[in-house]
Amino acid sequence: MNQKLGRSSIQLEQPVYILNSASIVGSKEGEGPLGLLFDKVGEDDMFGCKAWEEAESTLQKEAVGMALEKAGLTPEDISFLFAGDLLGQSMATSFGVSSYQIPLLGMYGACSTCGEALTLGAMSIAGGFAERVVCVTSSHFASAEKEFRFPLDYGNQRPLSASWTVTGSGAFVLGQDKFCGSGKARAQITGMTVGKIVDYGLKDSMNMGACMAPAAASTLEQHFTDYADQPEEFDKIITGDLGKVGQRVLIDLLRERGYDISEQHMDCGLEIYDGESQDTHAGGSGCGCSAVTLSAYILKQLQEENWRKVLFMPTGALLSKTSFNEGMSVPGIAHAVVIEAVS
């Protein structure tokens, strides 16, 4: 039986396999430390489109198409699509994935959406509701700046605590069989911990790492409690986009609660750019950041059995330009997924 574990976690009776996946990124991400690992790198960040939002839609479309192709599947083989992005009314998704005509379940969890989509996608398979699903999320530096901050043409200055939204999209084909047309699955999902909204009252949208770190700490502590686990259980505990500031806050918060994750912690936002040479300040962020890092880097490590088991936990800052302008705080949320190597 699938099992509810403790307050917020799920243990799957049978693992759900990540059959294959794909990543596409913009030029800046292509120049970063993971650049050679992505399936596709754009020459510029417009991807042949006339608007930033359309470019982001193209990222989702390409990521899904490549993931299906790599898995040797067609859209008709996919029961449901779990998809989301950061834009108002998930605009990148609405115009990105419609051509596949796969039944769609739209998600919103800010930058945690990749964790949410994998959670619900895996549940739909483990529950017997679907044979195969695709999970996809995206973000785009320029569409996000327009949506949340200032027009790029302002050239406004960014504090060192600000993060740089990743231009990219990652798509994941999940299924119940260890093997599919393309060979052995890349990894397996064995459990998950669903996060709560955590609001420490911080209001600085230029320091989202600090806003999200308490939510990451909450989900992680809950995971350890529900599973009666310790950080040593994992080769890596991977947050989505806490960046430099958030990483420090997370490690400190967990130390206060009796867990030392300083050895295991890794943040996708800190892996994707070379902060020194790429001028990205606190690190990368966005719905696409954790997704492309998972597809290109984390799954590769699991496939090569350099790592046996990781906790993948994208983190989301639940702000909008309206909430910011109305002086509201920036609550956070984080969803954790246990991903293991396929033996």
Name the site residues for a second copy (rule: CB under 8 A): 1-4, 7-8, 10, 51, 53-54, 79-80, 84, 86-91, 94-95, 97-98, 101-110, 116, 119-120, 123-124, 126-131, 146-147, 194-199, 318-323, 326, 328, 331, 333
Q: Which helix (H) or strand (E) holds 267?
A: strand 265-267
Taking the complex as a whole, how short is the minimal distance between the CB of residue 10 and a second copy, in angstroms?
5
Which of residues 51 and 160 has its CB atom nearest to a second copy in the complex?
Answer: 51
Taking the complex as a whole, how short is the minimal distance between the CB of residue 93 and a second copy, in angstroms?
8
Do the Cβ atoms of 58 and 48 come closer than 8 Å? yes
Do the Cβ atoms of 268 and 38 come closer than 8 Å? no
Do the Cβ atoms of 26 and 42 come closer than 8 Å? yes
Which of residues 147 and 241 has its CB atom nearest to a second copy in the complex?
Answer: 147
Do the Cβ atoms of 343 and 188 come closer than 8 Å? no
Taking the complex as a whole, how short is the minimal distance between the CB of residue 247 and a second copy, in angstroms?
23
Taking the complex as a whole, how short is the minimal distance between the CB of residue 301 and a second copy, in angstroms?
28
Taking the complex as a whole, how short is the minimal distance between the CB of residue 34 and a second copy, in angstroms?
27
Per-residue CA distances from 224 to 34, 234, 314 (Å): 30, 11, 17
Give the DSSP letter string of 185-254.
Answer: -SEEEEEEEPPPPB------TT-HHHHHHHHHHHHHHHHHHHHT--GGG-SEEEESS-HHHHHHHHHHHH
Taking the complex as a whole, how short is the minimal distance between the CB of residue 88 and a second copy, in angstroms?
3
Taking the complex as a whole, how short is the minimal distance between the CB of residue 248 and a second copy, in angstroms?
24
CA dist 258 and 23 (Å) reads: 36
CA dist 183 and 60 (Å) reads: 24
Which of residues 98 and 277 has its CB atom nearest to a second copy in the complex?
Answer: 98
The single-letter DSSP state of residue 178 is S
Pairing of strands 164-165, 132-139: unpaired
Taking the complex as a whole, how short is the minimal distance between the CB of residue 108 and a second copy, in angstroms?
4
Which of residues 120 and 135 has its CB atom nearest to a second copy in the complex?
Answer: 120
* CA 333-335-336 angle, 5° bins: 145
Do the Cβ atoms of 39 and 22 come closer than 8 Å? yes
Taking the complex as a whole, how short is the minimal distance between the CB of residue 328 and a second copy, in angstroms?
6
Per-residue CA distances from 146 to 143, 150, 182, 237, 331 (Å): 5, 6, 39, 32, 21
State both tokens at 164: 């740089």
Which of residues 121 and 269 has its CB atom nearest to a second copy in the complex?
Answer: 121
CA dist 213 and 203 (Å) reads: 13
Which of residues 209 and 275 has its CB atom nearest to a second copy in the complex?
Answer: 209
Place of tokens 């192709």: 69
Which of residues 168 and 332 has its CB atom nearest to a second copy in the complex?
Answer: 332
Largest CA distance in the chain: 56
Which of residues 160 and 197 has its CB atom nearest to a second copy in the complex?
Answer: 197
Which of residues 54 and 271 has its CB atom nearest to a second copy in the complex?
Answer: 54
